Amino acid sequence: MNLDVKSNLAKLLATENITIQHNNVKTASFDVKNRVLTLPVFKQKHGDVYDMLIAHECAHALYTPYEKWEGINDNELRSYVNVLEDTRIDKLIQKKYPGVVHNYQNGFDILEKQNFFGIGGRDINKDFMIIDKINLRSKSLNRLPFIFAPKDNKWLDKVDAIKTFDDVVNLAKEMLKWQKDQVDQMKKLPDFDDHIITVQYDLDDKEDEDDGNGDEMTGKGEGSATPDVEQSDSDEADEKNDFNNFGDQKADSEKDSSGDGSSLKDKINDDYKEDKKSEGKPDSYAKGAGGDKVKDRPLKAITDDSFTQRSEELLDTGNKGYNYGKIPTPNLGKNGCLIDYKTWMKDMNAHKVNEARHNDNEKYQVWLDSEYKKFIKENKKTVMYLVKEFEMKKAAQAYKRANTDKTGIIDPLKLPTYQYNEDIFKKLTVIPDGKNHGMMMLLDWSGSMSDVLFNTVKQLINLVEFCKKVNIPFEVYFFTSERGYGEVGLQGFSKNHGEYHFENFNLTNCLSHRMKKQVMDEALKWMFHMGMYFDNRYCYRRNMDYDTDEYLAQSNNYGIPSKYYLGNTPLNESLIYMNKMIPMFRKKYGIEKLTFITLTDGSGNYPKGTIYGVNEERDWEKENVFEIDNNKFVGRHNITTQLLEHIKKVHDVNVIGFYVIKRVRRWDLERYIEADSYRDYSHKQEILNKLRKELSNDKAVAVNSKGYNKFFILDGKKLGVENFSMENATIKKGTTSELKRIFGKSMQNRLISRVVLNKFIQEVA
């Protein structure tokens, strides 16, 4: 059974965005204050039973006032109110949604066959008080063969006339008082302790006993439907059972032993009238046979109690339940985790100035400017090639949508062919404008990226240059767990009741199409510097000549602020932010085709599982259920996949992932081979070898990964942009094959080695 479908059904029935939880509970319930519908996890999930429970609890959500219901403290009155209120709200929901009537009918039949209401083997006309008859009449949709006496019908008329919850409470008080009076009259009978109603409703003065295998309500062993009541003959049994209806028409025909012609029913009513004449409140004890006092037992609807107890048999006791919590709302304000590019560049410049007071950084700055300009110049031809490819693919897509229609005007050039060609009219081909494109990129700035970060940044710069050339709106962010020291008042996420706890982090908007040209050049240079800083810091240079100007310049670099250091991987936190920022970006710039790219080397941090106001530490026996934008998913280990899937579907985004690996290991590829994609082990090895060969030749391979439209594994050691030039090649005279080899290598290194760009262009166009 798809629990998400059932959750959506509940929301539709409730006509509001209530919270649906499937958990380790005994029965369905609705928290009308917090608007949370809780449904049990059943072993046998009958669709009609589930739908009946959902409709019933949603009716409570719509029609039962929480404050008034909570204000009822008397357990007896609460039992009666519960039955009458169920009767009222079930009628309302069935009238509002006639389709659920079928679910109520089938649901009741399924549960009644399993004796969930405790009526198996019992006479529904004699063995139950009026409150239980009303309950069964309502639950069965009036399909049980009840025979109601005229006096009973008066109660039924009052039940059917209920309109409001106040009507329910008033009628419950009236019915409960009447029922107590009837019980008080019964206590005067000599055979009260053995009466079927006395045993059924536990009204005698005997001490409660539990034989270990009996039913709580009847004291009978399992499988027994009716209590053992000794009866001398059938007439005596019938006489005893007449009290069950308190007004059954059969009581009018039965005479008592006095022979005065009055019915037993009349005698009870006369005694009741005499008691009413007495002053003061009724005693808490009533006299029974032999003058002994009989304890008052609380009255309740035993069919309702039976259902509550028997419903536990359907529960999946092996299911430990779930920790339900909502994904918190990201704080996009000033004290949130988002850092705009102006703040980032201000921090970088301030750090540079501060470092210049202690070290001479002029040589490094000159060297950095030279290296950056050299990189941009060498990659200019590649970027322009990709721009041309993009425009061609975009035009081809537009041409596919072109429409050709006849204009109704004769084409003079076709007139000579009129004798054998009917199509002599001019045609008009309309080619629609291409879609507005946009791109958002998320760069992993974690410690595990250190030895491939510089190469990844180079590819990122090429992506940005491409977007600038084709005039695509874009935003680039990098994320890290580092926030610097001494920051106070930071709150990255909301902390509302029922929301999961996520750590603060740093999401920096480092590049944007909103930047002016001069600012953009400076920002790109900063990214180039940051990538190279970590590359030099963490990567060992075997062939570095420590006496060169290059080494001396780099050794005097001014580094970066601590708040932008590499840390752990808050990818999931970043995706929660992006889930809010993507639709804002799309709406602001009217983007029709949006591409979202993640550049990372693995999955993000797992949330702790702490839920505000619910638990201080995660319950490890339960699965975590996350809710985001009214959608739910289970499990903390697949939260990255689920967040990406949510972004892809809800925001209609083309999600592309690039997974950077340090070394080509068997496991890195094998885990992406889906189980249903191969026949046997040898076939799996064949697929794996094909992927490894493609990764070796092209430095990237496309694999299937949930949450992504396209997912590419990149060889981090070969991501460096090679710019082999024929100008620097030594060509032996007269060797045509050597010339061909060098030319091929030149083209291959210019195009194929730029893996990210080539794979990217196929997706965004």
Q: Pick 620 or 292 by higher pLDDT.
A: 620
Q: What local confidence, expressed as pLDDT, does residue 15 receive? A: 66
Indicate the range of 34-43, 173-182, 570-579 predicted with least confidence: 34-43
Number of Cβ within 10 Å of residue 183's Cβ equals 22
Q: What local confidence, expressed as pLDDT, does residue 419 receive? A: 67
Of 119, 135, 127, the residue nearest 172 (C-alpha): 135
Q: What local confidence, expressed as pLDDT, does residue 94 receive? A: 92
Strand order in the sheet with 19-23: 19-23, 36-40, 29-31
Q: What is the mean pLDDT of the chain?
A: 75
The DSSP H or E segment spanning 474 is strand 474-480
Q: Is the pLDDT of residue 309 over 80?
A: no
Q: What local confidence, expressed as pLDDT, does residue 619 receive? A: 65
Number of Cβ within 10 Å of residue 526's Cβ equals 22
Q: Are 451 and 715 in contact (CB under 8 A)?
A: no
Give me the domains of the chain, ranges plus CATH numbers. Answer: 3-314 (no CATH), 372-399+434-764 (3.40.50.410)
- pLDDT band with cut points at 50, 70 and 90 for residue 345: very high
Q: Is the pLDDT of residue 677 over 80?
A: no
Q: Pick 77 or 256 by higher pLDDT.
A: 77
Q: Are 22 and 48 in contact (CB under 8 A)?
A: no
Q: How many alpha carbons lie under 13 Å from residue 13 in its C-beta half-sphere?
A: 31
Q: What local confidence, expressed as pLDDT, does residue 307 receive? A: 84
Q: Is the pLDDT of residue 287 over 50?
A: no
| Cα–Cα dist 117/309, whole Å | 9
Q: How many alpha carbons lie under 13 Å from residue 52 in its C-beta half-sphere?
A: 21
Q: What local confidence, expressed as pLDDT, does residue 221 receive? A: 34
| Cα–Cα dist 153/245, whole Å | 11
| Cα–Cα dist 372/457, whole Å | 12
Q: What local confidence, expressed as pLDDT, does residue 267 receive? A: 38
- Extract the tokens encoding 663: 């070394």
SS3 (DSSP) at 62: helix
DSSP calls for 183-247: HHHHTTSTTGGG-HHHHHTT-SSSPP---SSB-TTT-PBTT--S-----SSHHHHHHHHGGGTSS
For 623-652, what is each residue's pLDDT tens digit? 788 888 877 787 767 788 889 999 999 999
- pLDDT band with cut points at 50, 70 and 90 for residue 736: low
Of 33, 28, 79, 80, the residue nearest 57 (C-alpha): 28
- pLDDT band with cut points at 50, 70 and 90 for residue 474: very high
Bridge partners (DSSP) listed for residue 40 = 23
* Strand runs labelled E in 13-153: 19-23, 29-31, 36-40
Of 574, 563, 440, 562, the residue nearest 507 (C-alpha): 574
Q: What local confidence, expressed as pLDDT, does residue 184 receive? A: 87
Bridge partners (DSSP) listed for residue 413 = none
Q: State the alpha helices, DSSP H only, in 264-340.
A: 264-277, 302-310
Please name the residues in contact with 190: beta carbons below 8 A apart, sequence gap of 6 or more: 289
Which segment, 241-255, 487-501, 605-619, is predicted with the most confidence on average?
487-501
Q: What local confidence, expressed as pLDDT, does residue 30 receive? A: 73
Which segment, 135-144, 288-297, 663-672, 712-721, is predicted with the most confidence on average?
135-144
Q: Are 117 and 136 in contact (CB under 8 A)?
A: yes
Full-model pTM: 0.66
Q: Are 224 and 218 in contact (CB under 8 A)?
A: yes
Q: What local confidence, expressed as pLDDT, does residue 208 receive? A: 46
Q: Are 593 and 436 in contact (CB under 8 A)?
A: yes
Q: What local confidence, expressed as pLDDT, does residue 244 receive? A: 39
Chain length of the chain: 765
Q: Is the pLDDT of residue 465 over 60?
A: yes
For 686-698, what is each residue's pLDDT tens digit? 888 888 888 877 7
Q: Pick 343 or 245 by higher pLDDT.
A: 343
| Residue 592, amino acid | E
- Percentage of residues in the chain having pLDDT higher than 70: 68
* CB under 8 A, 24+ apart: contacts of 201-204: 201/129, 201/297, 201/299, 201/300, 201/302, 202/297, 203/294, 203/297, 204/294, 204/297
Q: Is the pLDDT of residue 471 over 90?
A: no
Number of Cβ within 10 Å of residue 357's Cβ equals 6
Q: Is the pLDDT of residue 159 over 90?
A: yes
Q: Is the pLDDT of residue 509 over 80?
A: yes
Please name the residues in contact with 636: beta carbons below 8 A apart, sequence gap of 6 or more: 606, 607, 609, 624, 626
Bridge partners (DSSP) listed for residue 31 = 36
Q: How many alpha carbons lie under 13 Å from residue 330 in its C-beta half-sphere?
A: 20
Of 332, 303, 640, the residue nearest 494 (C-alpha): 332
Q: Pick 222 or 619 by higher pLDDT.
A: 619
Distance of CA 487 to the CA centre of its chain: 33
- pLDDT band with cut points at 50, 70 and 90 for residue 407: low
For the chain, the 3-state helix, strand and coil shares in percent, each to the nearest 5, are 50, 15, 35
Q: Is the pLDDT of residue 22 over 90?
A: no
Please name the residues in contact with 520: beta carbons below 8 A apart, sequence gap of 6 or more: 468, 511
Q: Pick 664 or 75 by higher pLDDT.
A: 75
Q: Are 558 and 366 in contact (CB under 8 A)?
A: no
- Percentage of residues in the chain having pLDDT higher than 90: 24
Q: What local confidence, expressed as pLDDT, does residue 401 receive? A: 52
Q: What local confidence, expressed as pLDDT, does residue 143 receive? A: 93
Q: What local confidence, expressed as pLDDT, does residue 232 receive? A: 37
Q: What local confidence, expressed as pLDDT, does residue 657 receive? A: 87
Q: What local confidence, expressed as pLDDT, does residue 198 receive? A: 81
Q: What local confidence, expressed as pLDDT, does residue 241 receive? A: 38
Please name the residues in contact with 192: beta carbons below 8 A apart, sequence gap of 6 or more: 186, 198, 203, 204, 288, 289, 294
Q: Please compute the mean of the pLDDT values over residues 547-562 and round it to a whole number.
A: 72
Residue with tokens 């084709």: 470
**Integer CA distances (angstroms), 704 to 20, 604, 656, 675, 756, in order:** 32, 19, 11, 11, 17
Please name the residues in contact with 419: beta carbons below 8 A apart, sequence gap of 6 or more: none
Of 183, 176, 189, the residue nearest 201 (C-alpha): 183
